[in-house]
């Protein structure tokens, strides 16, 4: 049998081609790996740039300017002015009470509605559609709807008088203090309840039903299944919903202004709008609005941090 042998030069040539192909493949793999690694950052860069220019930059600028006086020198004058503001105490108290009460109330009601809508029954889709309607109404329209409805001869008084529950119209819009604050909490609850409910409902629909069934098999009641199985599994969803509502609740102001006007039921963010829009001609209006903005930002970040720390400590315990 005659064997054919390739010349040495041809053999080296083939090995060289193989080596070059390997190098090309390795270079392509390295380039592809780098592209894959940097692709998420490249895709996020426009949003990140927008975030830096129109959020981080103004926040940093406001923070530093709040620590300067009218002459541009470093000072705590603005913060002393905020503390001396006769409405600051009421604004801080109202913002804090509004955030706590509204978040708790909205979460409880939204969770109950989510549990109901998560069950399959006839008409559930229609009920879900009706429950989501307030979420589609703009805040200004909500304020107009409730202001006209609770006027002296609005639909609220007409309904109560037609049912013989009252003999003469109730002056709803003359409420002050805690009554006016609770009135605003109820309006805000009607407005934002669907957004909290839809987050919790999404979490419930992704819940593995086998966990609930196992609880019932071992003799747990409905309340025990919700408390010991559903709520712990939904904890990330609950944290997300509560944080979003806490941040939004600390920023409330438009409904209060449109219902009662400036200063009637003051909030911290309402003070920012007051110094920007109502008394911009004052010498320190700009500095006061910046300082109030920093105060609100610090309060929101502190509240969210405390809430997350509390949940983390509770989980470890």
Average pLDDT over residues 120-141: 86
Of 209, 155, 133, 257, which Cα lies nearest the Cα of 272? 257
Average pLDDT over residues 184-189: 92
Q: Report, at the CATH architecture level, how domain 91-316 is classified.
A: Orthogonal Bundle (1.10)
Q: Domain limits of the chain?
A: 91-316
Per-residue DSSP letters for 97-138?
A: HHHHHHHHHHHHHHHHHHHHHTS--TTHHHHHHHHHGGGGS-
Q: Which of 15-19, 41-45, 185-189: highest mean pLDDT?
A: 185-189
Q: Provide the pLDDT for residue 218.
A: 85
Q: Provide the pLDDT for residue 87.
A: 92
Yes or no: say if 195 and 132 are a contact pair by the CB < 8 Å rule.
no
In this predicted model, which residue has the larger pLDDT, 57 or 37? 57
Cα(213)–Cα(215) distance, rounded to whole angstroms? 5
Kindly report, residue by residue over 137-159, the tens digit of the pLDDT: 888 888 888 888 888 888 888 88
Cα(85)–Cα(83) distance, rounded to whole angstroms? 5
Average pLDDT over residues 30-57: 78
Give the global pTM: 0.80
Nearest-5° Cα angle at 21, 16 to 23? 95
Kindly report, residue by residue over 202-237, the tens digit of the pLDDT: 999 888 888 888 888 888 888 888 888 899 889 889
pLDDT at 30 over 60: no
Q: Provide the pLDDT for residue 13.
A: 45
Rama region for 51: left / alpha / beta (φ>0; ψ in -120 to 50; rest): alpha
Strands (E) in the chain, as ranges, are none
Q: Provide the pLDDT for residue 89.
A: 93
In this predicted model, which residue has the larger pLDDT, 55 or 100? 100
Radius of gyration over every alpha carbon of the chain, rounded to an integer in angstroms:
30
Q: What share of the chain is helix, strand, coil (3-state, %, to 5)?
A: 80, 0, 20
Of 249, 298, 297, 251, which Cα lies nearest the Cα of 270? 251
């Amino acid at each position: 049998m005659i064997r054919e042998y390739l010349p040495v030069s041809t053999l080296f040539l083939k090995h060289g081609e193989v080596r070059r192909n390997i190098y090309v493949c390795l270079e392509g793999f390295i380039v592809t790996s780098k592209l894959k690694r940097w692709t998420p950052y490249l895709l996020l860069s426009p949003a990140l740039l927008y975030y830096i220019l129109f959020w981080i930059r103004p926040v940093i600028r406001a923070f530093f300017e709040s620590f300067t006086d009218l002459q541009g020198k470093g000072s705590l004058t603005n913060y002393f002015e905020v503390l001396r503001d006769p409405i600051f105490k009421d604004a801080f108290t109202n913002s804090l009470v509004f955030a706590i009460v509204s978040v708790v109330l909205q979460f409880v009601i939204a969770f109950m509605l989510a549990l109901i809508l998560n069950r399959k029954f006839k008409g559930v889709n229609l009920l879900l559609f009706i429950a989501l309607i307030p979420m589609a109404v703009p805040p200004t329209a909500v304020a107009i709807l409730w202001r006209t409805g609770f006027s002296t001869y609005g639909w609220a008084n007409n309904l109560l008088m037609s049912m013989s529950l009252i003999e003469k119209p109730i002056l709803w819009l003359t409420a002050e203090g805690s009554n006016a604050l609770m009135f605003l909490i109820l309006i805000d609850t009607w407005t934002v309840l669907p957004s909290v409910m839809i987050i919790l409902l999404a979490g419930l629909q992704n819940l593995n039903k086998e966990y609930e069934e196992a609880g019932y098999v071992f003799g747990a009641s409905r309340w025990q299944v919700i408390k010991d199985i559903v709520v712990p599994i939904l904890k990330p969803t609950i944290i997300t919903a509560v944080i979003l509502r806490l941040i939004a609740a600390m920023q409330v102001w438009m409904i209060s202004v449109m219902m009662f006007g400036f200063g009637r039921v003051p909030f911290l963010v309402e003070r920012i709008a007051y110094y920007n829009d109502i008394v911009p001609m004052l010498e320190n209006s700009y500095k006061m609005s910046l300082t109030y903005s920093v105060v609100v930002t610090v309060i929101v970040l502190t509240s969210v941090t405390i809430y997350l720390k509390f949940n983390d400590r509770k989980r470890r315990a």
